[in-house]
Amino acid sequence: MIELAIFRIQEIRKMSKEERSKKLSELRAELSKMKAMQAMGGSLENPSRIRLLRKTIAQILTVNREEELGLKRAEPREEPPAKVAKGSTKEAQKEVSKTKAGPAKPQVSNIYEKEESEEK
């Protein structure tokens, strides 16, 4: 059995296509052996390994498909805006909350007021 079969996605992307196909066949063989042991009622040393094997197989297949279609990886997201320090003034905190929430919309507090405003 393979000791360390779980790879990070960056490691998978760095592999050549031949390496990925070789690892894919090894992982599928190990997964089938583990499923067979489980089906026969045998106890597994690490039952969560089945899930990790399936996840790694899916990652390899995803990278293969991305290369086949010529897709690029998603760009990293922009960093969120800086938070206001606790000791800052209330005005600064209000400015930050306004930029996050956007313009305030008038809220109707009563059903009848809503109907009257729709009639106008």
- Confidence band (pLDDT; 50, 70, 90) for 87? low
Residue 39 has pLDDT above 60, yes or no: yes
Domains in the chain, CATH or no CATH each: 9-69 (1.10.287.310)
**Per-residue DSSP letters for the chain?**
--S-----HHHHHHS-HHHHHHHHHHHHHHHHHHHHHHHTTPPPS-THHHHHHHHHHHHHHHHHHHHHHTPPPPPPPPPPPPPPPTTS-HHHHHHHHHHHH-SPPP---SHHHHHHHHH-
Residue 99 has pLDDT above 60, yes or no: no
Residue 101 has pLDDT above 60, yes or no: no
State pTM to two decimals.
0.56
